[in-house]
Chain A
């Protein structure tokens, strides 16, 4: 076999893009969407310990699809970045935009400088004091960053999932309604539609009313209740939205403590990636 002496920059970039895109699309789906009470994350994830969703800071959350060790590496970097900024300035000085920007720069540098790009897609979300302040940033393997107005779908069959959620999406969805819409879309995607239950889901919220740390995992009974709650597009969504946010808060608080013990991530062991030298 002969080795080519020259490959055009265009060819190299195209190959890398294709490689990353193909591998991200092989993963399981993740949906992040805004609802009046904050931001909801729903991921298909059979593992209780290897998380796709995570807390970055008080008002900032993280969701990822793709290769675990690579996005876990970015998540840890994001936590360090946010904690450093919050410690040396003030807690209010940490913004989702800054975290997303740091990720974008890092992903962009890796994409151009290294043989292999990160096979990940990331969503950084920030919950504001009012719904108008909520932000969703979608980041891709090459460092491009897009702010999405309503929702982000990532991973395998992302386009299908996104359009399915969009069919029922409206601005005043209750938490239960939003969760069920996301779960329906995740279940329907793929060649073999299936029913996703609580055991195969990872669900979390950035709850506007929860201070100072808005990030909250919905697990166990709280999640089951949310999935079973009757809701439909005809439901009086406006009145419900606040109620649901409140309910989830209480349910969550009750289960939170016992649950934190189960949430162990093997983060550091499995997120290892030998430090790369300069290319």
Chain B
């Protein structure tokens, strides 16, 4: 066996096994990447469920007591509250175990809001944002391994389907979109 054949064999094994090993993480990061790309259009981490509440009438701040807060809470289906507080002269915010209600006292309109984690996306975003303290090291290793997977991928094949053949043209074509974006940003 030629020395190059041996190197290519190791290269291909590395590419295959690293690909298998990091498959779950590649998919998780890709999903999270799409989710975080659109962070301006949606909340990728939480599902915020809102319900509009109408009080019987408008209220003044000095009319608000624990008893009136209890009545407002009942309208949202909350049997009890944890505490309430006034963000401004015109508003009262009521806190529950897993929800809050912000009431505009003057208009008597309130918004009841429940927060829950967006399944799958919350978890992949936790990884992508390095929300676990030590994960950034795992994340660095993963990024390095992605480079290894990519480079080994370039050298898997010989001939017209390898790097000297169509490979070089596809690499050049793939480099074009980011280059165009960078040029456009400079204009």
Do A and B actually bind? no
Interface residues of A (CB under 8 A from B): none
Interface residues of B (CB under 8 A from A): none
